[in-house]
Chain A
Amino acid sequence: MSSTLEADVLVVGGGGAGLRAAIEAGDHGSRVILISKGEAAKCGASPMAGADLTLDGKSLNELGFKGVVTDNKEKFFNDIITQSYFLGNQKLVKRYVEDAPKVVEELIDWGMRVDYDEERAIDTEGFNITHTLLKKAEELNVKLINDVMFLELLTSRGTVSGGIGLRVLTGEFIIFKAKAVVIATGGWHKAYIYNAGSRELAGDGLAIAYRAGASLGNMEFVTFCCNVTHWPPIWNGSIFTYILHSMVGGELVNTKNERFLDAYDPEVVKIGTSTEWNKSFVSIATYQEILNGNGTTHSSILYTLKGVSKEKAFANVEKIYPKWRYKGTDFSNLKDKLVHGSGVEVGPSAEYFEGGIVIDEKFSSTLNGLFAAGEATMSIFGANRVVAATTEMLVEGAIAGGSAATYANGKEFKELDQNQIQEFEKKIDGILSRRGGNKPSSLLKRIQTETYSNLGPIRTEKGLEEYLEFIENAKEEYRHTCLQDVSSLKYNKELIEILELENILTILELSANAALIRTESRGVHYRSDIPITDNDNWLKEIIFKRDKNSFKTETRSVDFDSIRPPEGKLPYFDMMKMMMKSHSDTPGAH
């Protein structure tokens, strides 16, 4: 172990939630270190966001934007809760709705550019959000350390005392002494062969928190963004085709050139393709086509512009995306493909993870001294998130950062437990001394493929049981996975991957178990063997806690403080239609 660093508050994660938490803690007078797996403000899911920031139309109007004056916080709240299939955390969604105008206004004051506005959102770019936050964090003397992968939390007598990280460029380990730690590491996109996330998102923070004793919940819920490009490889994972379909429409057809959405209720199709409902509805419908054998070899269907007045549509696209450039990608060839070719291969890609660290109203975890914010938390949006995760990361980052600073204030540093550090060293030595096993990349590829097939937009009991067997075997194989080059730990890609694989496997086992336990379909969790939403038995959350080498499962009832769900059991798509129709009169995508 080469160096030890001290901070009142250690923030893990260089995306929006981590930066916002660091700002709040810094503003409270804490000495803050923020470690980022890549370059802060340039990694995580935040810079990938389109990005809209959601808030109620009336508040938006009061901030000087268009907004919808007939909208209000109550309507916004009701819509979020119904679209969460009533698993949303009503107390915390209230807080989201309450705090959204404040955190958005703040960001604009700090210099964020706004490109255009909608009924319930303003639009900018993910990068503008993170860079505005980065500048503010630097003003507050937050110490930023890039390219540090967080590996383990340290605790003494059940309370967080710090953690261990790896400088991935140099291969050195760092010990952190910290009074409080905020986890803001995002989701576990890397577990899916098709995902719309940045590469480093391997659920590190969740698995580390869980190993240290914190509870995780809502692990069965994974949002897939529909219509994400799957092929060619250079465009794989880009949401530009999703945006394009939302903007100008077009046709989604299977390999038999059939409009497969025609098989569904026209009202569901209408709302399910023109609003944020598309993520769950179109992803499930698309994946069903792929299961029916009507998809391409890249788990895709085809997106074409048939039936769209191209001149008008292209003018609209080019106004916002000149020369068909989306973010840093040149999509000018896509235009030709859409006009002359048979379409572009698109499909569902893992985009947002509702599962995460169980938190209370202060965004404190079940482990003393550990806080969490953003996508790494057990989502306040229950079974289905339809409002912006960018607003979520700001609201939650601010609360978690403030709570961590208040908690750390006046506390002494805890003595580090040397046994834990020795255990960690033993673990690393163990990894480095393995010989003759498989390469981590080979195991990762198989995990990604299996996960997309069995823990994707459509699940079944049989598929999940076989998948859990696969995970058991993968865990065994993992114990023998080894590095080809142990002569240097300098940017040792295989070491990074081996360390990530442990986290990925931990999380996938819990996620698959939760999907198996939840014997119904709700929100983004669709079981084709039980296509029923069961409000009699499943208005509950599934929570996991580590128990030696296994885990304990409990279910927790949801509080219905403000609005109550309908009773009984309903076919999934009927429930979806009912939730769609209960939306307030506020128009727009949210």
Chain B
Amino acid sequence: MEKKLVTIKIARNENSHGSKTNYQSYQIPLQEGMSVLDALDYIYENLDSTISYYSHTACKIGICSNCTVSVNGKVSLACQTKVDTDLVVEPVKNLKVVKDLVYLRKGESE
């Protein structure tokens, strides 16, 4: 049986100086029990290794909160949010974006 495909639309912001956000869409095969973090990993490993999302450290058990992103407009932990349909993934609003989905923590400066 063919695997179901889902579209993950990701906010790409290469320029931190306030340029308008571009979105890029990726089609990935849906896997049972896959998290948004797994989906981002899939894209990074197989489709586009230039995407940035905070993942050089990650507890994957929902405690460090460093993978927090906005999924379909809702603030979510990427590692604990299941993928079962098409998604839009963006950085959390009102925080300074470093690149794509990576932003500075509250109170931190570049």
Contact = CB atoms under 8 A, between A and B. Distances in A.
A322 B42 CA distance: 32
B60 interface: yes
Interface string B72-90: 0000010110100000000
A493 B66 contact: no
Contact of B44 (A169, A233, A493): A493
Given A327-B62, A484-B50, A491-B52, A234 B80 contact: yes
A483 to B, nearest CB: 8
A233 to B, nearest CB: 5
Contacts of B14: 488
Contact of B59 (A42, A441, A492, A496): A42
Given A235-B33, A330-B80, A445-B45, A492 B52 contact: yes
Contacts of B16: 490
Given A232-B33, A233-B35, A493 B80 contact: no
Interface of B: 14, 16, 31-35, 38, 44-45, 49-66, 77, 79-80, 82, 98-100, 102, 104-105, 108, 110
* Chain A facing B: main interface SS: loop
A475 interface: no
Nearest to A238: B61
Interface in A177-215: 198-200
B49 A329 contact: no
Nearest to A127: B63
Contact of A169 (B51, B53, B82, B98): B98
B55 A199 contact: yes
Interface string A149-186: 10000000000000000001110000000000000000
A235 B79 CA distance: 9
A488 B99 contact: yes
Contacts of A149: 56
B60 A236 contact: yes
B101 to A, nearest CB: 9
Give the most central of B32, B54, B63: most A CB within 10 Å.
B63
A37 interface: yes
Contact of B62 (A198, A199, A328, A488): A328
A231 interface: yes
A43 B64 contact: yes
A234 B110 CA distance: 32
Given A200-B58, A236-B60, A328-B59, 16 more contacts: A38-B57, A42-B59, A146-B105, A169-B98, A199-B56, A199-B58, A234-B80, A329-B62, A329-B80, A439-B45, A441-B49, A442-B45, A491-B102, A493-B55, A494-B49, A496-B56
A328 B52 contact: no
Contacts of A199: 55-60
Given A169-B102, A235-B33, A198 B52 contact: no
Interface residues of A, number: 42
Interface of A: 37-39, 42-43, 47-48, 127, 146, 149, 168-170, 198-200, 231-238, 326-330, 439, 441-442, 445, 484-485, 488, 490-494, 496
Given A43-B57, A233-B38, A234-B35, A38 B102 contact: no
B100 to A, nearest CB: 8
A488 B79 CA distance: 26
A19 B1 CA distance: 51
Nearest to B51: A493
Contact of A234 (B33, B54, B58, B104): B33
* Chain B facing A: main interface SS: loop
A252 to B, nearest CB: 21
A38 B66 contact: yes
Contact of B33 (A48, A231, A485, A490): A231
Contacts of B79: 234
Contacts of B58: 198-200
Contacts of A236: 60
B110 A327 contact: no
A439 B80 contact: no
Give the most central of A170, A493, A494: most B CB within 10 Å.
A493
Contacts of A38: 56-57, 64, 66
Contact of A198 (B49, B57, B100, B105): B57
B49 A439 contact: yes
B31 A233 contact: yes
A237 B60 contact: yes
Contacts of B32: 232
Contacts of B64: 38-39, 42-43, 47, 198
Given A441-B44, A490-B99, A168 B56 contact: yes
A329 B81 CA distance: 10
25 contacts: A38-B57, A39-B64, A42-B59, A43-B57, A43-B59, A43-B66, A47-B59, A48-B63, A146-B105, A199-B55, A199-B56, A199-B57, A199-B59, A200-B57, A237-B61, A328-B59, A328-B63, A328-B77, A328-B80, A329-B62, A439-B45, A484-B50, A491-B98, A491-B100, A493-B44
CB-CB nearest 10 A-B residue pairs: A328-B62, A232-B33, A38-B57, A200-B57, A485-B50, A491-B52, A42-B64, A199-B58, A491-B102, A43-B57
A199 to B, nearest CB: 4
Give the most central of B14, B50, B60: most A CB within 10 Å.
B60
Contacts of B100: 491
